[in-house]
């Protein structure tokens, strides 16, 4: 059996389904974004939704998943996307790395979510005071594999250099936009779905002080 076919069959077996097709009741990218932002409003207002049906939800999810959004975000422990967007089990597909750096493995994970699971929205979520971006901004040598993270963020730092305002926040926003651009042009899967209007990639920034998520790249 060809390796690619075997891999696709394995994915289907793991999720109890078939490669993505638009569903009649699936949210549009705009609806998915509003659902996330509504959850964030509940979060920063201190009114999170009840999760009393968690046991029933676990049983439902045992047979498959259909997350309505993908969130690509920093690994920072203060920026847990399920909490920040007030979502439950099975609602969002999360890819987390320091500085929301997306390598080939991360991209493959995103491709799986949008193509196989049918998620119509990808949100790249950076945040105030990002340590990974700070390290890239300060420069110098980084120990171990941390250097790979710093190197990946360095172009965003260079792009934002000399801009008015806070240098760190400018670099944070530049990194968000850089990842958004990369994903929108990531051929063949994500770029084709974006072009077809089935997937939208947006960038957002989380404020540690207020808990508010601001869309910075639509």
Q: Strand order in 121-127's β-sheet?
A: 92-96, 69-73, 121-127, 200-206, 213-217
**Thinking of the domain 33-217, which architecture would CATH place it in?**
3-Layer(aba) Sandwich (3.40)
- Tell me the pLDDT tens digit for each residue of 29-54: 999 999 999 999 999 999 999 776 77
Q: What is the pLDDT along the chain (218 residues), one digit of tens a residue?
A: 454 444 444 454 444 444 445 566 889 999 999 999 999 999 999 999 977 677 888 999 999 999 999 999 999 999 999 999 999 999 999 999 999 999 999 999 999 999 999 999 999 999 999 999 999 999 999 999 999 999 999 999 999 999 999 999 999 999 999 999 999 999 999 999 999 999 999 999 999 999 999 999 99
Single out the residue of 29, 1, 5, 33 nearest to residue 19, CA to CA. Answer: 5
pLDDT score of 1:
46
Give the chain's end-to-end CA distance (angstroms, integer).
42
CA distance 121 to 207: 21
Report the b/e string of 133-143 with b at 16+ CB within 10 A: bbbbbeeeebe
pLDDT score of 24:
63
- Tell me the pLDDT tens digit for each residue of 62-78: 999 999 999 999 999 99
Q: What is the 3-state secondary structure (H, E, C) of the chain?
A: CCHHHHHHHHHHHHHCCCCCCCCCCCCCHHHHHHHHHHHHHHHHHCCCCCCCCHHHHHHHHCCCCCCCEEEEECCCCCCCHHHHCCCCCCCEEEEECHHHCCCHHHHHHHHHHHHHCCCCEEEEEEECCCHHHHHHHHCCCCCCCHHHHHHHHHHHHHHHCCCCCCHHHHHHHHHHHHHHHHHHCCCCHHHHHHHCCCCEEEEEEECCCCCCEEEEEC
Say what percent of the chain tops pLDDT 90: 84
Locus of tokens 């969002």: 92
| Mean per-residue pLDDT of the chain | 91
């Amino acid at each position: 059996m060809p390796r690619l076919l075997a891999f696709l069959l394995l994915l289907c077996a793991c999720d109890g389904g078939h490669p993505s097709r638009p569903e009649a009741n699936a949210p549009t990218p705009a609806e998915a974004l509003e659902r996330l932002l509504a959850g964030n409003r509940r979060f920063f207002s201190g009114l999170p939704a009840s999760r009393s049906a968690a046991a029933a939800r676990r049983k439902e999810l045992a047979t498959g998943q259909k997350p309505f959004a993908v969130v690509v975000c920093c690994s920072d422990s203060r920026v847990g996307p399920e909490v920040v967007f007030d979502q439950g089990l099975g609602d969002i597909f999360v890819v987390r790395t320091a500085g929301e750096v997306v390598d080939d493995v991360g991209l493959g994970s995103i491709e799986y979510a949008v193509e196989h699971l049918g998620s119509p929205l990808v949100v790249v979520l950076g945040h105030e005071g990002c340590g990974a971006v700070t390290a890239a901004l300060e420069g110098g040598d980084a120990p171990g594999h941390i250097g790979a993270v710093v190197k990946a963020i360095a172009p965003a730092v260079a792009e934002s250099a000399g801009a008015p305002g806070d240098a760190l926040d400018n670099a944070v926003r530049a990194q968000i936009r850089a990842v958004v651009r990369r994903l929108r042009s990531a051929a063949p899967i994500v770029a084709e779905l974006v072009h077809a209007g089935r997937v939208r990639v947006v960038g957002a920034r989380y404020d540690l002080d207020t808990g508010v998520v601001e869309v910075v790249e639509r």
